[in-house]
Structure 1
Amino acid sequence: MLLFLLGGYLVDGALSDLTWAGAVVGALVLLVVRPLTGWPAQAGTAVGKQERAVVALFGIQGIGSLFYLSYALGQDSFGGLERELWAVVALTVVISVVLHGGMATPAIGDLDRRRDRTELGGRS
């Protein structure tokens, strides 16, 4: 439901307040910050390196960011940057859903095939 509402918000011009700097921040969050924080967050788990990398890259798809931004904006005005912040978060969530939504199934399939080969190889 939230993705549907986000789509309506985008059609209504949500990205009109997006700046190049905001777009770069969104890209950095998706491609650098999330993977670099997702990797150590799994420390001490029984997950293998390949699975850990996939989880770090894909993570959650950002819907929580909408709630976090709503809360933050309820606490402070952020110097009039509210519309730009909404644009950055909306862009980040949409890119995450599209990019990772299209890549997750092949990545998980590849992990499953590797796991199957490893298990079969270990039983020989």
Structure 2
Amino acid sequence: AVYGRMLDRAGQLLALGRSVVLDATWLNPRRRAEAETVAADARAELVEVACTAPHEELVRRIEQRRRIGSDPSEATVSVLARQLADRAPWPDAIEVDTTDLDVRSLEAVREWAARNLGPLPWA
């Protein structure tokens, strides 16, 4: 339901000429294909990005968010293990390591994106 609502909203915004960022795991190739269809229907460029980090860093982030109580997702270390075990190849994605990304700073995110993704159409 979450992916369906997100894709519906993305289609609405793209129809208005807006850019969108769909932040999700996108582990399932069928879901990725649905996003591709939404972009194609809107004649929008699709940029697929797979954010990565070493396993230890992913675990650290999950545990830190749990301790702080700031994680809106249902992420746990066991969920991460299942996701990594079930992850399908994603050959069309630009893979970027987010280890050094400070998400608390908009400027840091913009610099990181420019460095790792090149000029962004939405920047």
Question: Which structure carries more helix by proportion?
Answer: 1
- Asked if Structure 1 and Structure 2 have the same fold, meaning a TM-score greater than 0.5 normalized by the shorter chain, the answer is no
* Higher percent of residues as strand: 2
Larger radius of gyration: 1
Please state which band the TM-score falls in when normalised by the shorter chain. Answer: under 0.3
- State the TM-score, normalized to the length of structure 1: 0.28
